[in-house]
Structure 1
């Protein structure tokens, strides 16, 4: 009987150890899930911040390029207009050219 009592004590002790181990594992899993969740939130926030910064930089570069190209385009158009306005216009020769091309037979 004493031997059976010892065996029961040992089995109960082993069950308690297993219960404690299970409890420790559960706590460790909860802690690790919490840390992973916090890390994920932190890195997602950092990722979002960095991507928004890159997007803003690219947007600013794009807008600056568009402005520069537009200004250059307007400058070229203005130069061409000035060139055309500086040209003398010879309406008489132009009218003769049109008559020749449109009304004379080849």
Structure 2
């Protein structure tokens, strides 16, 4: 489903919105952000809207980092071994803040 979203700041906003309304799992959002970050690390061209792209990169990094912290602070090591990550939901407020921070 997320394959149709190119790795752009506008697509990041759309993918976050999908996670807010539970159309995709939060794990899917994190995985998309990882791809976005990998793609942007390869892109050496000058972006037309550099500040927006820089902000999107910072948001994607934050999503990725907060996911890892959320898992490690919420679940024990034993629980993480059995956990179905697609069922885990980060606080909705975080998603809304990330969405609002990309203009």
Query: Which of structures 1 and 2 has the larger relative contact order (alpha carbons within 8 angstroms, sep 6+)?
Result: 2
Length-normalised TM-score, structure 2: 0.28
Judging by fraction of residues, say which structure has more helix.
1
Report the structure number with the largest CA radius of gyration.
1
Length-normalised TM-score, structure 1: 0.27
